Amino acid sequence: MFQIRVHGRGGQGVVTAAEMLSVASFEEGRHAQAFPSFGSERTGAPVVAFCRISDKEIRLREPIMEPDAIIIQDPTLLHQIDVFAGLKLDGYVLLNSRHSIEELGLGELVKGRQAERFCTLPATELGLKHVGRPIPNVPLLAGFAALSGIIRLESVIKAINEKFSGKVAAGNVAAATEAYNLVKEMMTGGAHA
Amino acid sequence: MSKPFAITLKPGTSLANLTGTWRTERPVYINRLPPCNNACPAGENIQGWLFHAESGDYEQAWRVLVQDNPLPAVMGRVCYHPCEGACNRGQLDESVGINSVERFLGDEAIKQGWKFDAPATSTGKKVLVVGAGPSGLSAAYHLARKGHRVEIQEAGPLAGGMMRFGIPKYRLPREVLDAEVARILDLGVRLTLNTKVANIEQSMKQGGFDAAFLAVGAHIAKRAFIPAGDAAHIVDAVSVLRSMEGEDKPMLGRRVVVYGGGNTAIDVARTAKRLGATEAIIVYRRTREKMPAHDFEVEEALQEGVMIKWLSTIKQAEEGSLTVEKMVLDDKGVPQPTGEFETMEADSLVLALGQDVDLSLLEGVAGLEISNGTVQVSPDMMTGFPGIFAGGDMVPSERTVTVAVGHGKKAARNIDAWLRGATYQPVAKHEIATFDKLNPWYYSDADKTVRPMLDMIRRQTSFDEVQGGLDETNALFEARRCLSCGNCFECDNCYGVCPDNAVIKLGPGKGFQFNYDYCKGCGLCVAECPCGAIKMVPEET
Amino acid sequence: MLKQTEGSKAVAEAISLCRPEVICAYPISPQTHIVEALGEMVKAGRLTPCEFINVESEFAAMSVAIGASAAGARAYTATASQGLLFMAEAVYNASGLGLPIVMTVANRAIGAPINIWNDHSDSLSQRDSGWMQLFAETNQEAVDLHIQAFRLAEELSMPIMVCMDGFILTHAFERVDIPSQQQVDAYLPPFEPRQVLDPAEPVSIGAMVGPEAFMEVRYLAHAKQMQAIERIPQLAAEFKQAFGRDSGGLIRTYCTEDAETIIIAMGSVLGTIKDTVDEMRLEGHKIGVLGIISYRPFPLAQVRAALINSKRFLVLEKSLAVGMGGIVATDVRMAVTGTGLKGFTAIAGLGGRPITKASLHKLFREAEGEALPPVTFLDLDWEAVNKQLERERQTRRSGPVAENILHDKGIVSAKFG
Amino acid sequence: MGFQPVKFYQTGTFTVGNRLLAPMDRSVQAGQTRSNSINSGHRACQGCGEALGARYAIDAAMAESNNQLIAVNATGCLEVFSTPYPESSWQVPWIHSLFGNAPAVATGVAAAMKVKGKTDVRVVAQGGDGSTTDIGFGCLSGMFERNDDVLYICYDNEAYMNTGVQRSSATPPAARTATTMPVGPEPGNVFGQGKNLPEIAMAHGIPYVATATVADLRDLEYKVRKAMKMHGARYIHLFVPCPLGWGTASSDTILMARLAKESGMFPVFEAEHGEVTGVLKIRRQVPVEEYMKPQKRFAHLFGTHARPDMVARIQAIADRNIRKYGLLEDEGN
């Protein structure tokens, strides 16, 4: 079972991200379970959502305390809450930022872990560029697909098309594709690593 | 559908619960005597005939009316309508114009040529009626309807009595009177005119009459002692009015003084005015309030220019002038002389001081009691001589056409019983439906219809009828102002206001009945009955 | 059709397939997504004929459902928590009148302190209302139970609550098989009311019943639920035949054949429990699970039969009878009366407190060792509680309890604002 | 307004029936075939205004709906006295659910009729002043706001009579009830600003709002029939005196309603879409004393410890109604 935790702020599509991740996994014939950190948060408040992916039925209902991957939609959260709590030693981290992990001062965190599993992506800019809105969730999902290989880009695109339609869907697909390629490029090019 | 136990009930099943057991008092439908009926000297069932008139069934209304009074067209003109004085509606807005509706019905009957139903049976008995005045005509009519053979012997040249020879034409057109008399005669009543009965016993024996009803009226004018010069022109009102029916009209001069305060005085004064008098002055001892004449007649006379000199007595009459003394009323309302005199000009003086009865036909009849110039009769209208009854002005009572008609009816009933060897048992009268028994809320506001009056010039110069009749719309309206005091008129209030649906409506004309199985005795029906036709009575204990 | 979808949306689709004729909606978390989805379906004309009524309160929601049901319409509503309490009078009324209304309860705690997260306090507070209560373990079961609920409710002419854990199920995206309309139509016949308001055949519904018949009426309601004990397994079996899935029934056992210790629970926590039990089984523990699906009627005989061969049981419940202990546990103990079985109660997950495998591992081991007090409060912060108790001993006015505890726990209350 | 103008016929339209009217112009209550929606054998007190008002109103609704009617009843006297197991007085399909939810239940019934295409079946909800102005107020307002196709009839007898005459928000100032006893410097119910439910209903802008009394049957029937001709939320506030609660003679029930209207204490009017379209004028104005004196609930304002000051304040309320609604003929309107 692969467990992902998504951090962000109300209004950034955090819950949607987890849900789309589960849909993408479902499209690949796997079981998936997405759920929010059921709360009464309003726009701007820190929000958490979860997603489990497994090849068999998922019965577990506890919150994800030891995630295999963490997606952070808003880098300002780094200074406010312990977004990395419980991250497994071999875990993935994908951060929405124009800056590198080092630039963000996360060098300490990466120590003793697999540095290639840490990555940043200017997702907000991608969202603005392709969809016209500063919503980073879809680019991050695609970036996560590239980073982790847990899901395929095509599955993310399927989830996008299930969630959106028309211009919004097309923009998101474009953003996702660019994000996917960007991360792939970074991983192979190692430009930031 | 199998319905859930107790949760769901069948409709209307509360009929099993007889709430009538809650009652300590029960409502009962009653009939109360309407005050109009009670006040009618002719005993008319006024409310009864108004009921039919309300629905526009005038013939039925007329038929109910003439069960008691054969002269509605006359009565609708000359009756002083005590019914209207008693009418409960008078306490609401104005009394119902009963008299005007009666006249409408009477006129309608003449116009439509409605006839009385022929008597169903013939008794073979013969009754002599002496006098063709209102009392005699009434008695003859009722006797005829009961199947007796009736002959009226009348001293005068025409039927009608005081209706013809006492009441001026402008109040009672003669064609109306003639029509109603003719209708009575059509029943088979025989009328013999110009036949003065000199001796009643003899006349009965000669004619083979089984009974007689005497109604000779009061045609002899009362005289007062007034010192008068030879040339003074003094006449009595009876003669004046009687002569109006003849060829030669009375010569009263330009300035006429009438002495008296009754309706006859008014009639004469108004007649004088019409005959061309420039001044018609009534001299009366007391005040207007004390005047026996009906106020509306006084009012009409004043409108026509008749003058009235109150608190005055005539002390002396000379040619062209009268001496009059001023009077004052003492504590008891009796006029007392003041010693102040004045002179007034007068071409003639008409005395209207009342009338006496010519009782000569009774001379020698055994057992009769005469006092104050009238024949005494028992409550069944019979004189002291068995088989001889009397009524109208010749017996002690108020002297009006309506009273006379009532006497005729009452006498006829008693004569009929006497002829059958029985005693007439009047139906017990119901309790009177007084105003406090009504719930007047329910009656719509509706002012009395004003009857049209002849224009003043013609009133002063002709003998055309002064007061007009109602047209059909007005008559209907007026009839519908009746409150139906004391008797159910099917307004459905009891049926509607019962919270327990305990009033059963039997259908049009059939009224209602209480369903005592469910009536809880709340009394709402009694309180909300407009006409007081329900009352609460205690349950038997 | 298999779908990856939100629990609420799946339930809404299931309701829609049941062809409800009147839906009453009043927002309260966490049931809102269900009626929102239904509202959209009605407005879009995808669910027709159906009246979707936005009422002014839960009390009105149930009342509208009562009126609709009494008039012969298939009626549905959903609520949670305070909403259920606010409609409580009408809840009792609906069952008293025998109206087969189906209502989703997205289980949520009852305040104060106000709390929107999951536990079972709400529907359990309506334990004696006369409504049947079926608890879903998964969103798939929530979907299936609703379909079965309409059939059962209408057969017996009694209302049913389908209970699903708020947020944990309602807001969870997971795989759900949504049946086809044909399948549901074949399983669920049109509503044939037992009593109906009809001008053609007037009846008076809701009469005042005095001492002479009230007990009988109540007994008949009880008898209906006893009939349901028979019908629920039959309907589940028919469901399996038609839909090919095990869903519903009175109880569901897991690894109980040789179990010495049996964990009893209701709702979604059964999944976490099963995972924990699997792990313990791998370590050789003789432990099993008994899930109760039908809380009302309570399947006394079935629970007894499921437990009779074990040595001990632990009822883990998301509810608390304050001043007493467990609510479900009381019923379970009645089921095992006279068996000599050792029973424990664990109160867990109140107000959405996560029930973790880690805690369950510890708890179950203690249960196995019979090292538990009769009532355990799982993951209770004893330090905070004791501090507060101490404060109260010392000062009459010790301040707001919740605030104090949050301070003690080092959590800034503003974060929860 | 109030009733079809009828040609003058002896009693006009004040009596229940009038044999001189054409049958079609007569009241429903005058008919031999009226529905008697609430049948004999019910257990209402002697002279109950509510039993009367309910039959008046529901029979009229039955007539207008061609007997296609379903009635919903709130808890209260009407419900208790009409349906004690095993007997029901209702001859219409009828349901009682709770004290405070009749409007919502009616909404549900109406929704069921709509969804089933039974557009000819109409729904009436009814309750006393307690259920209407107090406990069921929220549901009523919701029903109004949604403009559900329900005619709601409030039978106002100005207190909780079913439970033993306790104050409701419709209880008039100074009136004695079991919870507003005639003691202290301000005996009886408080002088508050009142809760004018018809006006609150009007504020919802619903198609029709009317007040009526059991003393003006034609007016009541006219309003019920008019309301039944319309669709959407409609409200009729019907004044029904209670002999028990008011301490009046059982035979005075209608008189009390009449005096309430004639004194101006209970303005009778109708409104469409929030605007007053007609008032029933006072026919024979009476001072409020005439209305109050026969009622034991006001007895403490008269007699040995008379409180003319409080009576004057009540007269002021009536005067205000008269001004506000133009209840007198010469006051325009």
| For residues B112-139, average pLDDT | 95
- Taking an 8 Å cut-off on Cβ atoms, the answer to whether A59 and C174 are in contact is no
Q: Do C128 and C273 belong together in one domain?
A: no
Q: Torsion angle of alpha carbons A165, A171, A177, A182, nearest 10°?
A: -150
- pLDDT, one tens digit per residue, over D188-224 is 999 999 899 999 999 999 999 999 999 999 999 999 9
Percent residues over pLDDT 90 in chain D: 91
Q: What is the pLDDT of residue D8?
A: 59
Is pLDDT at D7 greater than 60 in this prediction? Answer: no
Chains C+A touching (3+ CB pairs under 8 Å): yes
| For residues B108-115, average pLDDT | 97
Supply D164's token pair: 């033993």
- 3-state SS, one letter per residue, for C279-291: HHHHCCCCEEEEE
Q: Which residues of chain C have pLDDT under 50?
A: 412-417
| For residues B403-407, average pLDDT | 96
Cα–Cα separations (whole angstroms), residue C307 to B198, C135, C346, C417, D282: 134, 20, 17, 44, 79
- Taking an 8 Å cut-off on Cβ atoms, the answer to whether C272 and A26 are in contact is no
Chain B touching partners, 3 or more CB pairs below 8 A: C, D
Distance from the B302 Cα atom to the nearest Cα atom in chain D, whole angstroms: 35
Question: Closest-CA residue in chain D for C54?
Answer: D146
Chain D hits for B527, Cβ within 8 Å: 251-252, 254-255
Q: Could you tell me the end-to-end alpha-carbon distance of chain A, in angstroms, rounded to an integer? A: 27
> Domain span at residue A7?
2-189
Backbone angles phi, psi at D75, to 5 degrees: -60, 150
| For residues D51-69, average pLDDT | 98
Q: Do C337 and C199 belong together in one domain?
A: no
Q: What is the pLDDT of residue B249?
A: 84
Q: What is the pLDDT of residue B6?
A: 87
Q: Do C211 and C285 belong together in one domain?
A: no
Distance from the B507 Cα atom to the nearest Cα atom in chain D, whole angstroms: 7
- Taking an 8 Å cut-off on Cβ atoms, the answer to whether A38 and C269 are in contact is no
Q: Which residues of chain A have pLDDT under 50?
A: 191-193
**In this structure, is residue D16 part of a structural domain?**
no
The CATH number of the domain holding residue A90 is 3.40.920.10
Q: Do C74 and C210 belong together in one domain?
A: yes
| For residues B490-511, average pLDDT | 95
SS3 D271: strand
Cα–Cα separations (whole angstroms), residue D183 to A72, D169, D170, D247, D293: 71, 20, 20, 18, 18
Instruction: Tell whether B16 is within 8 A of chain C (Cβ).
Output: no
Q: Do C130 and C155 belong together in one domain?
A: yes
- Taking an 8 Å cut-off on Cβ atoms, the answer to whether C195 and B6 are in contact is no
- Taking an 8 Å cut-off on Cβ atoms, the answer to whether D85 and C24 are in contact is no
- For chain C, what is the domain count? 3
Instruction: Tell whether B6 is within 8 A of chain C (Cβ).
Output: yes
CA A151 to chain centre: 12
Chain D hits for C70, Cβ within 8 Å: 95, 105, 108-109
Q: What is the pLDDT of residue D1?
A: 41
* Closest Cβ opposite residue C171 in set A25, A36, A60: A36
SS3 D289: helix
- Taking an 8 Å cut-off on Cβ atoms, the answer to whether C171 and A22 are in contact is no
Q: Do C195 and C338 belong together in one domain?
A: no
Reported as type and span, the H/E element at residue C135 is: strand C132-135
Q: What is the pLDDT of residue D5?
A: 43
* Closest Cβ opposite residue D115 in set C51, C56, C59: C51
Distance from the D96 Cα atom to the nearest Cα atom in chain C, whole angstroms: 5
Q: What is the pLDDT of residue C411?
A: 61
The C-alpha atoms of residue C203 and residue B404 are separated, in whole angstroms, by: 69
Q: What is the pLDDT of residue B454?
A: 87
Q: What is the pLDDT of residue D2?
A: 41
- pLDDT, one tens digit per residue, over B223-280 is 878 888 877 889 999 999 998 988 888 888 899 999 999 999 999 999 999 998 999 9
Instruction: Tell whether A32 is within 8 A of chain C (Cβ).
Output: yes
- pLDDT, one tens digit per residue, over C278-304 is 999 999 999 999 999 999 999 999 999
Question: Which letter, b or e, does each residue of C90-123 get, where b requires 16 or more Cβ atoms within 10 Å of its Cβ?
Answer: bbbbbbbbbbbbbbbbbbbbbeeeebbbbbbbbb
Distance from the D208 Cα atom to the nearest Cα atom in chain B, whole angstroms: 26
- Taking an 8 Å cut-off on Cβ atoms, the answer to whether C269 and A18 are in contact is no
Strand pairing partners for C177? C2
- Taking an 8 Å cut-off on Cβ atoms, the answer to whether C271 and A40 are in contact is no
**In this structure, is residue D97 part of a structural domain?**
yes
Q: What is the pLDDT of residue C181?
A: 98
Average pLDDT, chain D: 94
Concatenated DSSP letters for C214-225? HHHHHHHHHHHH
Q: Do C84 and C172 belong together in one domain?
A: yes
> Domain span at residue D294?
23-331
CA B448 to chain centre: 19
Is the CB of residue A28 less than 8 Å from the CB of residue A155?
A: yes
- pLDDT, one tens digit per residue, over D278-318 is 999 999 999 999 999 999 999 999 999 999 999 999 999 99
- Taking an 8 Å cut-off on Cβ atoms, the answer to whether D83 and B491 are in contact is no
The C-alpha atoms of residue D285 and residue B490 are separated, in whole angstroms, by: 28
Q: Do C335 and C399 belong together in one domain?
A: no
Q: What is the pLDDT of residue C413?
A: 44
Q: What is the pLDDT of residue B2?
A: 66
Instruction: Tell whether D83 is within 8 A of chain B (Cβ).
Output: yes
Instruction: Tell whether A37 is within 8 A of chain C (Cβ).
Output: no
Q: What is the pLDDT of residue B250?
A: 86
Distance from the C354 Cα atom to the nearest Cα atom in chain A, whole angstroms: 6
Q: Which one of C158, C191, C201, C203 would you mutate to disrupt binding with B, by most B Cβ within 10 Å of its Cβ?
A: C203
Is pLDDT at D3 greater than 70 in this prediction? Answer: no
Instruction: Count the Cβ atoms, other than its own, within 10 Å of residue B1.
Output: 12
The C-alpha atoms of residue B147 and residue B149 are separated, in whole angstroms, by: 7
Distance from the C189 Cα atom to the nearest Cα atom in chain B, whole angstroms: 18
Is pLDDT at D333 greater than 80 in this prediction? Answer: no
- Taking an 8 Å cut-off on Cβ atoms, the answer to whether C355 and A62 are in contact is yes
- Where is pLDDT greater, at D331 or B254? B254
Average pLDDT, chain B: 93
SS3 A50: strand
Least confident interval from B179-188, B290-299, C267-276, C317-326:
B290-299
- For chain A, what is the domain count? 1
ipTM over 0.85: yes
Chains D+B touching (3+ CB pairs under 8 Å): yes
Burial status of residue D182 (CB atoms within 10 A of its CB: 0-12, 13-18, 19 or more): buried
* Closest Cβ opposite residue C73 in set D79, D112, D138: D112
**In this structure, is residue D293 part of a structural domain?**
yes
Q: Which one of D42, D69, D98 would you mutate to disrupt binding with C, by most C Cβ within 10 Å of its Cβ?
A: D98
Instruction: Tell whether D16 is within 8 A of chain B (Cβ).
Output: yes
Chain D hits for B503, Cβ within 8 Å: none
Instruction: Tell whether C97 is within 8 A of chain B (Cβ).
Output: yes
The CATH number of the domain holding residue D243 is 3.40.50.970
Q: Do C233 and C209 belong together in one domain?
A: yes
> Domain span at residue C391?
382-416
Domains of chain B: 13-31+488-538 (3.30.70.20), 36-115+434-479 (1.10.1060.10), 126-220+356-419 (3.50.50.60), 222-352 (3.50.50.60)
Chain D hits for C60, Cβ within 8 Å: 101, 104, 107, 138-139, 142
pLDDT bucket at B515, cuts 50 / 70 / 90: very high
Is pLDDT at B466 greater than 80 in this prediction? Answer: yes
Cα–Cα separations (whole angstroms), residue C116 to B429, C29, C109, C166: 85, 7, 6, 8
Q: Do C395 and C372 belong together in one domain?
A: no
Q: What is the pLDDT of residue B1?
A: 45
Q: Which residues contact D57 (CB under 8 A, 6 or more apart)?
A: D124, D126, D153, D220, D224, D236, D238
**In this structure, is residue D15 part of a structural domain?**
no
Question: Closest-CA residue in chain D for B20?
Answer: D41
Q: Do C130 and C181 belong together in one domain?
A: yes
